[in-house]
Structures are given as structure tokens and as C-alpha cells.
Amino acid sequence: MKSSASSPQTSEEQKLIRNLLKVSKAHMRAHHAYQAEVVPVPITLFRVGDAQPSDYPSARADLLRDDSLGWGHLTTEPVRILLTHGNHVTMLSSAHAEGLAHLLGPCLEAAIGVSHG
């Protein structure tokens, strides 16, 4: 026969779940309240070729139709779009990491002013 009293483990689990829900709600409030400022910096977007709208469940449909995925609204400079393989998650997998590194390397070098000659 089960006891109706909560065990300490169950009580601790419930406390953990309540705390996780509080953090999640705080993140949601911050996300909805955040207003990004337009900044005068160039942006490079590594855009994946295998992206599907379902990969971005919280994105607005108009942003998904925009080649820059909305990043152009956050800068006064052009958005450089570099296509890479995979999707938002798999672009970092071992199958695609080398290709991404080949795109990222020159961008980092340019950003820090490295010269090859």
C-alpha cells in the first residue's frame, strides 16, 4: 500500500521542477521584452542549405523568407550570407565541421586583421 505522504525524493524533484519552470518563464519574459538595437557593424550569417521551417519553430514566417533571416534589420551594414551544409544543429557535426571551418577561418582572420602576404 502506498503512503499518501510525499517522500523526500519526490519533494526534491517537485522543487527542482518548480525552479526549472520559474527559470523557463523568466527566459520567455526576457525573450518577449527584448528589443535589439540597430548597430553599425557588418554581420556574417552562416546559413545552412538544408534548413526547413520546422527547424525554427518560434521564427516568424516573414523572417524565414528573408535571405538574411532578419539580421539585416539589426545593422546599418550589409549582411554577408555564407551557405554551409547541414541544418541548424548538424552544421556543427563532424560531417560538416570542416566545411564550416573553411568558411569561418577567413571571416575570423578578416575580423582581426590578419594578412597572408
Question: With b meaning 16 or more CB within 10 Å and e meaning fewer, what string describes 60-72?
Answer: eeeeeeeebbebb
Lowest-pLDDT range of 3-12, 83-92, 100-109: 3-12
Give the tens place of pLDDT for each residue, 9-39: 688 889 999 999 999 999 999 988 999 899 9
**Would you tell me how many other CB atoms lie within 10 Å of the CB of residue 84?**
19
How far is 76 from 78, CA to CA, in rounded Å?
A: 7
Percent of the chain with pLDDT over 90: 50
pLDDT greater than 70 at residue 117: no
The model carries a pTM of: 0.65
Please give the C-alpha separations between residue 55 and each of 51, 70, 86, 115, in angstroms, as whole numbers.
6, 16, 11, 37
Q: Taking the domains of the chain in order of start, what are their residue ranges?
A: 1-34, 43-112
